[in-house]
């Protein structure tokens, strides 16, 4: 990885292990760190290979694995019976047929929330390509076959799937898990962090032995601190930084993007996830223009992951996904989240 070659000494051997090669057929700790493969750039499949198949479906995860993604992302929501499921949004309206299957199960705001449905009910739904609030497909050129049935998957199922694909393919693809909106879930009387940790522990993600490489990420700083303090996590944690207008939490993300902010989060996180719109400010005379946030992170010795690259939705002035990925790599970024993990 790029940050290792720059001698970011604050990272631990556990971090190296989580990033490096895990034995495909056994779950045993690595004892010789010199044998670990160190990648110079990491490609994370954003919600699976979501540029080709509906996001967070089993098929999308399998395709991402086959396309050679280094990590596959799992966003986590909770069912009514407290089971972690792999979905990005609190609600189901834009990515499923919930309004057809359970027309009366919406809240007063008209939305159908994941947490209002048991796993059994969630599994009756069919996942579809994402639509906007007008019901129009967000990315019209992507997969759109309505007769194909994609189902909601649990986090446990996704973890088992990646592990088994690693075994049969002889690879070390990792998982990149986001704990979604822990404060919102607390308001609903759920502890999503504890629920995720139970699944991880049951799947064998314990001190000294990991079934696959793993990152955990969250937009909420207190959640990451809790993972260190209560669960003694020894694999890498990544602080996601949003735009304040997204209302991800009460945190001032503008302040976190400063050098002082980066220094503060380096006390509990081993990396930072930055939105592409905060990193690339434009293209001038064919050259990328970067904001100060990259240098702030580098000064704080924090590896940077940038989200999200989309070959069918490029920033103005960018000619191709490959060009954008190459620019970010040259700028010292550790890795990127992409809907198209094969476009390198």
DSSP state for residue 137 in the 8-state scheme? B
Within 10 A of 137 (CB to CB), how many other CB atoms are there? 14
User: What is the distance between the alpha carbons of residues 85 and 122, in angstroms, rounded to a whole number?
Assistant: 9
For residue 181, what are the β-bridge partners?
none
Q: Is 88 a catalytic residue?
A: yes
Q: What token pair was written down for 250?
A: 């009460």
Separation of alpha carbons 16 and 138, rounded Å: 38
| Residues 132, 221: Cα–Cα separation, whole Å | 30
Q: Is 266 left (phi over 0), alpha (psi -120 to 50) or beta?
A: alpha
Q: Pull the structure tokens for residue 156.
A: 């446990």
- Residues 196 and 82: their CA atoms lie apart, in Å, by 10
Which of helix, strand or coil describes residue 96?
strand
In whole angstroms, how far apart are CA 134 and each of 114, 246, 266, 313? Answer: 20, 20, 41, 19
Sole residue written with tokens 């009514």: 80
Name the 3-class secondary structure at 44: strand
d(CA 308, CA 313): 10
203 in Cβ contact with 211 (< 8 Å):
yes
Please pick, among 56, 65, 88, 321, the residue that the annotation labels catalytic: 88
> Around Cβ 250, how many Cβ atoms within 10 Å?
8
The span from the CA of 83 to the CA of 87, in Å, is: 12
Q: How long a stretch of residues is the chain?
A: 344
Per the annotation, the verdict on 46 as an active-site residue is: yes
Contact 271, 54 (CB under 8 A): no
Query: Which residue bears the tokens 């069918």?
Result: 312
Which listed residue (46, 90, 158, 321) is catalytic? 46
Active site amino acids = 46, 88
């Amino acid at each position: 990885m790029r940050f290792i070659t720059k001698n970011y000494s604050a990272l631990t051997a556990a971090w190296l292990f989580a990033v490096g090669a895990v034995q495909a057929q056994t779950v045993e700790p690595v004892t010789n760190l010199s044998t670990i493969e160190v990648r110079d750039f990491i490609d994370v499949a954003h919600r699976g290979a979501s540029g080709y198949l509906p996001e967070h479906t089993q098929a999308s995860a399998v395709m991402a694995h086959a396309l050679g993604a280094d990590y596959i992302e799992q966003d986590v929501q909770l069912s009514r019976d407290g089971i972690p499921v792999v979905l990005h949004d609190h609600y189901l309206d834009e990515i499923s047929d919930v309004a057809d299957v359970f027309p009366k199960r919406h809240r007063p705001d008209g939305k159908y929330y994941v947490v209002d449905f048991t796993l059994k009910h969630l599994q009756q739904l069919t996942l579809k390509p994402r639509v906007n609030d007008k019901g129009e497909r967000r990315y019209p050129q992507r997969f759109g076959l309505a007769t194909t049935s994609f189902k909601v998957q649990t986090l446990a199922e996704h973890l088992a799937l990646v592990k088994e694909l690693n075994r049969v393919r002889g690879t070390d693809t990792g998982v990149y898990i986001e704990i979604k909106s822990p404060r919102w879930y607390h308001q609903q009387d759920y502890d999503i962090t504890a629920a995720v940790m139970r699944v991880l522990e049951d799947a064998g993600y314990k001190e000294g032995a990991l079934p696959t490489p793993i990152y955990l990420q969250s937009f909420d700083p207190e959640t990451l601190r809790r993972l260190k303090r209560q669960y003694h996590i020894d694999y890498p944690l990544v602080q996601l930084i949003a735009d304040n207008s997204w209302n991800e939490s009460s945190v001032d993300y503008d302040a976190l993007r400063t050098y002082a902010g980066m220094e503060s989060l380096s006390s509990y996180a081993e990396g930072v996830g930055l939105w592409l719109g905060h990193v690339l400010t434009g293209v001038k005379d064919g050259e990328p223009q970067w904001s100060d946030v990259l240098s702030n992170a580098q000064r704080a010795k924090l590896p940077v992951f940038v989200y999200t690259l989309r070959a069918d939705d490029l920033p103005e002035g960018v000619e191709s996904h490959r060009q954008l990925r190459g620019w970010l790599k040259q700028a010292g970024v550790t890795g990127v989240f992409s809907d198209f993990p094969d476009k390198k």
